[in-house]
Amino acid sequence: MCGRFTLQISPEALAKGFDLEEVPLLEPRYNIAPGQPIAAIRHIGDRNKLDFLKWGLVPSWSKDPERAPINARSETVIEKPTFRHAIKYNRCIIPASGFYEWKVTGDTHKQPYYIRFNNNSIMGFAGIWEKWTAENGSEMETCCILTTVANEVMKPIHDRMPVILSHNDYNLWLNRNMHDPYELVRLYEPYPSDHMTTLQVPTLVNNPRFDSPSCIIQV
């Protein structure tokens, strides 16, 4: 799964990486957690746009907005009612600098690891989003991240990882005129492990309220 990640990227790098005309000033984040607003890129009109969506998907028909999955398994995303509409019509890209995963050691201890690209370049997670309207008319836009099987780097830590898109596939993923989810299946392959590295990091990241560069210092 993917339950925490980081984003510490300059506006210029975001604009170049995702073909954005405007980028808001983003504070560096080192421990982004579920339920928080996260940056998401969508194709709106004739351009890519960065907005902030709540992490935890609430489909438009939901009667319980508290039940909000943060991940969707790519193998079943087409079949599940919660995700079926979004994967066809509402795809987005979640930019990240890296993500965390926990390895169980012993009976109870969970050791956090930080996973990033070798060259510290931007990751683009495959995401889906929805708009939910409350009875009082207020609206909430939410999203979640697709996951796939682990690559060779991730397997010693966890059996799942986020779907990381190749830069060449960004336009296809964001194309709102492409409604055949089966055309996307090839994008769900785990990202090549030779481009990624893992770092054992402090358990400070276990506290979602702790957001500091200390989270990603190798121990």
- The full 3-state SS of the chain, as one line of letters, equals CCCCEEECCCHHHHHHHHCECCCCCCCCEEEECCCCEEEEEEEECCEEEEEEEEECCCCCCCCCCCCCCCEEECCCCCCCHHHHHHHHHCEEEEEECEEEEEEEECCCEEEEEEEEECCCCCEEEEEEEEEEECCCCCEEEEEEEEEEECCCCCCCCCCEEECECCHHHHHHHHCCCCCCHHHHHHHHCCCCHHHEEEEECCHHHHCCCCCCHHHHCCC
Instruction: Specify whether 143 is catalytic.
Output: no
Judged against a pLDDT cut of 90, whether residue 97 lies above it is answered with yes
92, 101, 130, 215: which is the annotated catalytic residue?
101
2, 143, 144, 215: which is the annotated catalytic residue?
2
Judged against a pLDDT cut of 80, whether residue 1 lies above it is answered with no
Judged against a pLDDT cut of 90, whether residue 185 lies above it is answered with yes
Mean pLDDT of 19-48: 95
Assign 24 a pLDDT band (cuts: 50, 70, 90).
confident
Judged against a pLDDT cut of 80, whether residue 73 lies above it is answered with yes
Instruction: Specify whether 215 is catalytic.
Output: no
Enter the CATH code of domain 5-216: 3.90.1680.10
Mean pLDDT of 142-171: 97
